[in-house]
Amino acid sequence: MAQSKFSQTWWGQKFISALEPLMDSGRLSRGRSYARGNKVKMFEIKDGTVFAQVRGSVNPYFGVYKEPLYTTTIEFEPISAANWSAAIAVIASKASLISRLLLNEIPDNIEVSFKKLGLNLLPASKGDFHTNCSCPDWSNPCKHIAGVYYLIAERLDNDPFLLFELRGLSREKLQLELAKSPLGKALCAEMLLEVSPPDLVDSYYSPPETVTVENCPDFHHFWQGNKRLPQTIDPLPQVPVAGIPIKKQGDFPSFWHRDNSFLEVMETLYDTVKIKGCL
């Protein structure tokens, strides 16, 4: 898929896929080249509105003889407070949804819950966003705005909760409301137990002890000893290792610069260590 250059998570790719039917394909293609060519010189998101400055092209047909710098804005239509309350109530009633969100992941079936309420989280029509660009192109959205869309999808990889912020609900507000529900309270309590800080001690090493060695009659007695070593070794008890700190990072955390999923790599590592530990 063309958007894979800018998004590696399903929610980032779905964001672009939702916009493709709403925009001219030629301008989307030019937008990809603008994003890939580092022509977006300023990009910030504030209070659900995206502000960007995009370097344009010289075009004498439009009277543009010097490389210009166009200002673009993208404002997503916010979901009302009443509708957010209804959506949060549905999400908080399902363990499969609330657990993923509290672990900084977007469930792949979350749109189903929104559609049951007649809502949508991803853009579904041109009424879901309002765009403006200072360029002379008659089409809106233009190629400069399209380029900014791809950078939003890229930003969604590192911060999936940006999808909620663009629709009028901050990450802090969402997680606070989810944590108030019975399921949220139980999950938050469990996560707090997992991330409790270690107890501080003076030393993490066993202190050395002086041991008096009895005189051995000969070397044979010294090496063989009086008691024979056991011929078999009992298997060590399996101690489960919590995966919550790993899962909280998501598929593509900020420190992860590879194309494959961080969670898949860690699952493979855990399985390998588990198998070798049983040998």
User: Do 159 and 153 touch, CB atoms closer than 8 A?
Assistant: no
Q: Is residue 101 part of a domain?
A: yes
CA 206 from chain center: how many Å?
A: 41
> What are the pLDDT digits (tens) for 222-267?
677 677 777 788 777 776 666 777 787 788 888 888 878 888 888 8
Q: Is residue 222 part of a domain?
A: no
pLDDT the model gives residue 179: 80
Q: Is residue 219 part of a domain?
A: no
Could you tell me if 41 and 123 lie in one domain?
Answer: yes
Could you tell me if 142 and 40 lie in one domain?
Answer: yes
Could you tell me if 55 and 163 lie in one domain?
Answer: yes
Domain boundary among 173, 191, 209: 191
Q: Is residue 129 part of a domain?
A: yes
Provide φ and ψ at 182, rounded to 5°. Answer: -55, -45
Residue 71 banded pLDDT, cuts 50, 70, 90: very high
Rounded Cα distance, 279 and 277, in Å: 6
Could you tell me if 155 and 246 lie in one domain?
Answer: no
pLDDT the model gives residue 190: 57
Share of the chain above pLDDT 90, in %: 8
Burial (Cβ within 10 Å: 0-12, 13-18, ≥19) of residue 77: middle
Pick left, alpha or beta for residue 213 (phi over 0 → left; psi -120 to 50 → alpha; otherwise beta): beta
Could you tell me if 87 and 176 lie in one domain?
Answer: yes
Residue 192 banded pLDDT, cuts 50, 70, 90: low
Domain boundary among 157, 191, 225: 191
Structural domain of 155: 2-191
Provide φ and ψ at 41, rounded to 5°. Answer: -90, -25
Q: Is residue 109 part of a domain?
A: yes
Most confident among 19-28, 35-44, 81-90, 212-221 (mean pLDDT): 81-90
Could you tell me if 18 and 81 lie in one domain?
Answer: yes
- Domains identified in the chain, total number: 2
Q: Is residue 199 part of a domain?
A: no
Say which range, 49-58, 60-69, 257-266, has the weakest mean pLDDT: 60-69
> Model pTM?
0.60
> What are the pLDDT digits (tens) for 212-228?
777 766 777 667 767 77
Q: Is residue 235 part of a domain?
A: no
Could you tell me if 82 and 185 lie in one domain?
Answer: yes
